[in-house]
Chains A and B, each alone.
Chain A
Amino acid sequence: MSTYAPRHSPSAFSTPAATTLFRRLTWEGTVPLEIRVDPKELPANSDRGLECYYIQAPRVSYLPLLVPEIKRFLMDVVFDENAARVLKEEDWWFESDEGTLLKWHWPIGLIYDNHTITLSARPNAVPSFFTPLRLILHLASPPTEKLLLAPNAEACKQAFMGQLKEADFIRWGNTKRMTGLRKAEQDGLWEGIKEHNFDEYWRVASKITPTTAPTRSNSPPPPPSSTSLHTRPPSADPQSSAGPDKDGATNVRNVPVRIYLPDGPVLQDLVPPILEDGTMHVLSTFLTARLPLLFPELSSGKPNLGYALIQGVPAPPDTEMAWLGACMAGADGWVNVCVGLLRESA
């Protein structure tokens, strides 16, 4: 990591404590899963009654990466020796307990939040927090009419790398930052996820993820509670000899963002960090523009009919999109906004 000015300006990639804090919080986020083997597929002589596996799974991880851990549990606790010998992980696949297909190539946190908002749209929706997402694990070959392929870690890795490159392209109009990484570094990103190692992942990710304005050594750092990037406009700073922070979150062309609706398709369009009138693009403006019925104009006085979850957190309306892109994106570079329906309290 090189410094870009001869004086004591810190590395271009150093980030204020707040950014690192939120990145770590995002990284450490987990969701409860309850994984149950399809009873019809339990081999004979299995220890029934124990075939449920509970796990607090990292939001940034993927279902196929959980398979080794689940397999160890099943072999230790549920299966007898004969059954264990014929286990073929490559035939394993997951299904929601309502029988719907699971997007195994989605990050686990997204699967969970998507489930939360889908429930919010049901007629008898009851607000429930922190209930485990119940999954069924099948041990036999997946129904080929439902899935094109059984989930496997290699396919997952490729989907992950593809998403990172798309995010790179959206930010800068090219994928040079991603392709500029050595192969070992690119692999290091996935290894960081597999090992769930924050430092290993961010050692590489910090080269490609937009930063917030770096702390100037002779100015006070932004207060830890600050979520604004406008602590000091980089170009106006006489200390900076490199001009505007070229990797700054506000210098991206667009922020990689997707909206998920209950039972609905995924929406994606251009999300500039700064609007045409020069103001920061904030979450409420973003949502009102795309879902005006759920998120009416603030000036109209009408209440919101929906809420937005980002990494499981109902984000405040004045959150800056650029900040989200730098601090609360998923490990694949994308800010996933899950929109649920608000219910009147009973």
Chain B
Amino acid sequence: MASILSRSQFDQACKAYVEAYLNAHPSDVKRHPTGWLWEEHPYIANLGYLSRTVHLPSRPVQSTSREDEDDLVELIAEDDDATLNTRDDLLTCKQYVVHSATFGVPTLYFTLHDASGSPLPLEEIMKSALFRPGSFPSADGNTFAVTFPGSSFAMLSQGDHPTLGTPSWYFHPCHTAEVVGELMAEIDVGRDDLLRWLEAWFMVMGNIVDFFAGSGA
């Protein structure tokens, strides 16, 4: 299957996904992220996207380096043991799966705000529960983007949500299509299995983003 999704294929894939995982079995929950809704622009066609809101526990900010990863893991374990987070400690994460008109693939956009409504700065976003530890290269002090050395595009940067127009963070989609394409080739699915394509995409993104952190809205 071509590793590019047209707008209409994207729409079909998303709607199929929402339908498939609307009433997810408990055993399914940790395999396929659930709770997504299909939204559309009020009067313009072909701008639909998936959307959901999750609440994440906040973490204490600390200046960890890669060597401190073990300590961080310990700290996380302690966090989980603590009493259930009060609403004051919860971060609100809005997540969107959007079709990239340029690259023809789904792209993950998100915003992350603390309990008082302030957006988190990049440094704290990278350390938040939204991401698997070790997902990012060491911070280079940049406040507006995360880049992998040698990569043409920034991995994570700011942009406007294509339909809502609001400022948001997004993962650059340029390599996603290749990886998903390879995955699909190995799984040997039917050419038109758009639902499987999106599931594979969530799996690839799931290497960086923890879709199962926190609780749904």
Contacts and interface: CB of A to CB of B under 8 A. Distances in A.
Chains A and B bind each other: yes
Interface of A: 103, 105, 144-145, 147-149, 152, 154-155, 158-159, 162, 165-166, 169-170, 175, 178-179, 261, 264-269
B158 A265 contact: no
A95 B167 CA distance: 15
12 contacts: A144-B119, A147-B167, A149-B143, A149-B144, A158-B144, A158-B145, A158-B154, A159-B157, A165-B152, A261-B44, A266-B165, A267-B44
Contacts of B162: 265-266, 268
Given A149-B144, A178-B152, A179-B152, A269 B101 contact: yes
Contacts, number: 67
B47 A165 contact: no
A188 B77 CA distance: 49
Which of B47, B142, B153, B162 counts the most A-chain CB atoms under 10 A from its CB?
Answer: B153
A105 B102 CA distance: 18
B152 A103 contact: no
Interface of B: 7, 41, 44, 46-47, 101-103, 111, 113, 117-119, 142-145, 152-154, 157-160, 162-165, 167-169, 174
A28 to B, nearest CB: 28
A280 B153 CA distance: 32
A179 B151 CA distance: 9
Given A103-B160, A265-B44, A265-B165, A148 B101 contact: no
B158 A148 contact: yes
Given A155-B144, A268-B101, 16 more contacts: A103-B160, A105-B158, A147-B167, A148-B158, A148-B168, A162-B154, A169-B102, A169-B174, A170-B102, A179-B152, A265-B44, A265-B47, A265-B163, A265-B164, A266-B160, A266-B165
Contacts of B167: 147-148
Nearest to B6: A270
Nearest to B7: A269
Contacts of A267: 44, 47
A268 B103 CA distance: 11
B165 A155 contact: no
Given A170-B102, A266-B165, A175 B158 contact: no
Contact of B118 (A144, A175, A178): A144
A145 B118 contact: yes
Contact of A165 (B46, B142, B153): B153
Contact of A158 (B152, B157, B163): B157
The 10 closest A-B pairs by CB, nearest first: A268-B101, A155-B144, A144-B118, A148-B167, A166-B102, A179-B152, A148-B119, A145-B117, A265-B163, A149-B144
B68 to A, nearest CB: 27
A269 B46 contact: yes
A6 B9 CA distance: 48
B153 A162 contact: yes
Which of B144, B162, B165 counts the most A-chain CB atoms under 10 A from its CB?
Answer: B144
A144 B112 CA distance: 12
A159 B172 CA distance: 12
B172 to A, nearest CB: 8
B45 to A, nearest CB: 10
B104 to A, nearest CB: 9
A103 B158 CA distance: 12
Contact of B152 (A145, A170, A175, A264): A175
Nearest to A263: B165
B195 to A, nearest CB: 24
Contacts of A179: 152
A145 B117 CA distance: 6
Which of B101, B117, B154 counts the most A-chain CB atoms under 10 A from its CB?
Answer: B101
Nearest to B167: A148
A264 to B, nearest CB: 7
B160 to A, nearest CB: 7
Contact of B158 (A155, A166, A169, A268): A155
Nearest to B47: A265
Contacts of B164: 265
A65 to B, nearest CB: 16
Contacts of B47: 265, 267
A153 to B, nearest CB: 11
Given A265-B162, A269-B7, A169 B119 contact: no
A103 B154 CA distance: 20
Given A144-B119, A147-B167, A265 B154 contact: no
B115 to A, nearest CB: 13
A304 B87 CA distance: 53
